[in-house]
Amino acid sequence: MADKQQTFLFDDSPDQPPLSSPMPGSASHDPQASAPVAETNAVSADSSSPVAGKNVYIVDAHAAIYQVFHALAAANMTTPRGEPVGAVHGFLRDMLDLLEKRQPDYLFCAFDPPGDTFRHELYADYKANRESMPDDLRSQIAKIRHLLDLFHLPIVEVSGYEADDVLATVARIVEELGGHCYVVSPDKDCRQLITQHVSLYNMRKALVYQSQQLVEDWGIRPDQVVDFQSLVGDSVDNVPGISGIGPKTATELLQRYETLEGIFEHVGEIKQKKRQQNLIDGRDSALLSRTLVRLDKRGTGHDGLATGTIGPFRHPRRRRTLSRIWLPWAHRTP
């Protein structure tokens, strides 16, 4: 059966708005817990949209799959034919748990497409340190996609763009339509997406992450996340940043000068000579890093949101049927 796949298009024309813009802070409570009608302050919401006032969840599928793959590796779950299915079992459990506890109105799963993305064209060493997907996991991806098809959950995947860009695009579209978007991802890059109507959700901790938590962790606002990461870099994705500038220093600089441009404009005021020189020498590296870490939210696909409407599988009988199909499929081997 074919994947229920929704394509979100990306337009690189110069008429598009900037990839990111300053966003105001948000309250620290979970909007879904108090179930408010969404009020937008960053964008003009479409109150006539069926998404208005609804909760839309977009899952970073590969991140969740990798987590459960490693967490359940020791269990050696296989089919009777000896095929590994630990990640399939774990991902199913995640989806059922998300549906049961969070009860989303819309749900999507974003996948990374095969091959390079536009970031590799900008920087050939982007993610050069990443190991290839383990064979035992690679063989499970098709099963997981089939599982999502059984759930009637759309897979969102765009050639040349990372899943994070899809998360950013869906978050922007949902906010424009007056809904609240929950980005289900552990990736710190996604902290740049936080607004009053976009929150992060950590499935492992059942934690909603908003601007207050960001201030507590990094001491900055959501609109400063890209510049923070541009200074610090990211060894996992091989984003260079600036040598000698760590999280504490980046926070201090942004609290004082607000932006990356502000830091470079006032670099002569920095009294620590080594830090000053590091910033001067690392300016080009920081600007490149900003291009790499900034998520592209310019995709289009408002009409595609309808495909993520939660439908018949919300019914307990449907969930039990799916559980019988998939849960017994995995058993432990010695």
- The torsion of the CA quartet 124, 127, 128, 130, rounded to 10 degrees, works out to -160
Q: What does the pLDDT read at residue 306?
A: 57
Of 34, 49, 240, 208, residue with least CA distance to 128: 240
Q: Please tell me the distance from the alpha carbon of residue 43 to that of residue 211, in angstroms, as a whole number.
A: 17
Question: By three-state DSSP, how is residue 221 classified?
Answer: coil
What pLDDT, on the 0 to 100 scale, is given for residue 45? 66
Alpha helix positions (H), 103-210: 118-122, 135-150, 163-176
Q: 200 has which bridge partners?
A: 183, 209
Q: For 95, which DSSP code?
A: H
Hey, which residues does 182 pair with through a beta bridge? 57, 199
Q: What is the pLDDT of residues 12-64, one digit of tens each?
A: 333 333 222 222 233 334 656 543 333 333 455 666 788 899 999 999 999 99
Model pLDDT for residues 170-185, shown as the tens digit of each residue = 999 999 999 999 999 9
pLDDT (tens digit per residue) in 184-233: 999 999 999 999 999 999 999 999 999 999 999 999 999 999 999 999 99
How far, rounded to the nearest angstrom, does the alpha carbon of residue 153 sit from its chain's CA centroid? 17
- Asked if 273 contacts 281 with a C-beta cutoff of 8 angstroms, the reply is no
Integer Cα distance of 171 and 197 in angstroms: 9
- Quick check: helix, strand or coil at residue 146? helix
